[in-house]
Structure 1
């Protein structure tokens, strides 16, 4: 997100470059590296002096968990949102506040910045899925439907409930057949199939986060029979719950911090939201530009 100036953004995955200006927000799906430069295919000159002609705010999230992967799976390699009202008309104010907050060390700053990054990400994703060229998932579009929306929200809010076709139809205030037909048309699968998929996705994340037994975690998503659920989980994920927990817990331990803001040339992921003025390791908002007319920030989004 440029705060001042502009930058060309390119990734190895899509092979193209696009200009990102002040007011626009770019989402890089990852996991490959991306490059920010003054013009397409610019190379960073060794030893170039860095100045604050272009100021960029760059946030990074580690991709963790099945819920996150479901969302990332429908994003393009790079999504650029035009300057608009995806944040309810407050994106300009949010950018100014992030700039000020990251530059001024104050008690509790990191907590504030972490929450603002969460808010910014949600607003950016909403804004992207509302773009004509975006391919939003069926469940995202269906959340706005007057019949299917309440059913999806009910399943998301209480996956542990013993849902039946009749109970789900009651949430929408329609007949079971009406709900089944409309839900399948909008989401792509019947209601109970979606519920099973959602439970398996939640279970996988809870399994990695929690130290509780498989049976205890299974009950959190609505299954009393741990043995039957373990068999269903293996069909869904191709591994047993215990093997999934062992593998993904090790991966999450290696990943470390969940989110961060980073900047500068070659800057790494920092704890929470961080910033740099053409160098790494400082606590100021991200800003890099080189002389003459060449800037390159090579980062690896996660």
Structure 2
């Protein structure tokens, strides 16, 4: 498994909220749903994303935007258009001053707007939760990423067909569409960045460092050392350490420790497994060894993390 696969596997939609909002100009959406990750696409028309402290970012027709962070933001037809709708958690639409009284009428199962043939169609999907693995991915992203339609393809158009249905099992299908859209969009964005992509992404194209990274991600519990990773990659320890640190930004053992602790944190959140079980699963001899490493990296104990302590 490559690193992007591993990080995306920790960012899976479960009960994601998908909406189609049909609008007429002038239009503006005040997004206050506090979702940690969202995707949005203009299937008809174009718009702008406005976030505090940032320059407005344009979204062209069928471009896909990846929006990370729980801070509110505005999507509008022009940077100076005031919002007419406020989007709350769960996709609930609230008309704001200046909006027609029927602006947030429900036109379908997950469709809102004044009329079904409006000028602008905005399709969006939100992740309601991301774990530690997902946050590791989000840390590599700016708050707003826009990928041109030519690079991302018709993935959001395909999701639209499912949004407008009302059938059994639809939530599971929409969750998978959201995951597919995220994977397609981020892969296109990282490829476009090339030398400015995160170190762990660029490293996958290096025959030495990429091989070492795949070994770590394929079996994080293995008792890896610089020596065993270097032998597997067919180079000296000095060469592996130098190349790994130069591309990824940290030494191999530091990366391995960070990844193990990230996996442990997710399992502490998502399972009722004992600390001993989790420790062995991620590569530590016992619960004590995991606790020492966890406290050193996170500044808190695994037990406190599980109970929501900071």
Which of 141, 157, 170 matches 2:218? 157
Q: Distance in 2 between matches of 1:207 and 1:231?
A: 15
Match of 1:75 in 2: 141
Match of 1:28 in 2: 67
Which of 51, 57, 77 matches 1:38? 77
Which of 82, 85, 109 matches 2:151? 85
- Aligned-pair distance for 1:30? 1.9
Aligned residues: 243
Q: Distance in 1 between matches of 2:211 and 2:195?
A: 24
TM-score, normalization: structure 2? 0.73
Match of 1:219 in 2: 280
Match of 1:148 in 2: 209
Match of 2:110 in 1: none
Q: Distance in 2 between matches of 1:173 and 1:124?
A: 34
- Does 191-200 or 66-75 show the bigger shift? 66-75
Query: In the TM superposition, what whole-angstrom CA distance separates every residue of 1:243-286 from its partner, at most 9, and x where no partner exists?
Result: 010007xx9xxxxxxxxxxxxxxxxxxxxxxxxxxxxxxxxxxx
- Cα pair 1:66 1:202 within 8 Å, conserved: yes
Relative to structure 1, the CA distance from residue 134 to residue 115 in structure 2 (aligned partners, 3 Å threshold; closer, same or farther) is farther
Q: Stretches of 4+ moved more than 6 A in 1?
A: none
- Aligned-pair distance for 1:79? 1.3
- Residue 156 of structure 1 aligns to a residue in which SS? helix
Relative to structure 1, the CA distance from residue 65 to residue 104 in structure 2 (aligned partners, 3 Å threshold; closer, same or farther) is closer
Q: Distance in 2 between matches of 1:225 and 1:105?
A: 49
- Does 111-120 or 126-135 show the bigger shift? 126-135
Q: Distance in 1 between matches of 2:234 and 2:205?
A: 16
Match of 1:270 in 2: none
Q: Distance in 1 between matches of 2:177 and 2:53?
A: 28
- Cα pair 2:195 2:202 within 8 Å, conserved: no
- Cα pair 1:13 1:32 within 8 Å, conserved: no
- Aligned-pair distance for 1:131? 3.0
Q: Distance in 2 between matches of 1:42 and 1:145?
A: 47
- Cα pair 1:3 1:56 within 8 Å, conserved: yes
- Residue 306 of structure 2 aligns to a residue in which SS? helix
Q: Distance in 2 between matches of 1:42 and 1:181?
A: 52
Q: 1:121 and 2:182 equivalent?
A: yes
Q: 1:111 and 2:177 equivalent?
A: no
- Cα pair 1:63 1:69 within 8 Å, conserved: no
Query: In the TM superposition, what whole-angstrom CA distance separates every residue of 1:28-49 from its partner, at most 9, and x where no partner exists?
Result: 1121112121211212352425
Query: In the TM superposition, what whole-angstrom CA distance separates every residue of 1:188-217 from its partner, at most 9, and x where no partner exists?
Result: 111111111111111111111111111111
- Aligned-pair distance for 1:135? 4.3
- Aligned-pair distance for 1:118? 0.3
Query: In the TM superposition, what whole-angstrom CA distance separates every residue of 1:103-134 from its partner, at most 9, and x where no partner exists?
Result: 12233332222111101111211222233499
Q: Any residues of structure 2 matched to 1:1-302 within 5 Å, and which? A: 1-14=41-54, 16-43=55-82, 44=84, 45-48=97-100, 49=103, 50-51=114-115, 52-86=118-152, 91-92=153-154, 94-132=155-193, 135-247=196-308
Q: Which runs of 5+ in 1 are unaligned?
A: 252-302
Query: In the TM superposition, what whole-angstrom CA distance separates every residue of 1:56-113 from its partner, at most 9, and x where no partner exists?
Result: 1111113432222222122112111122234xxxx22x23321112112233332222
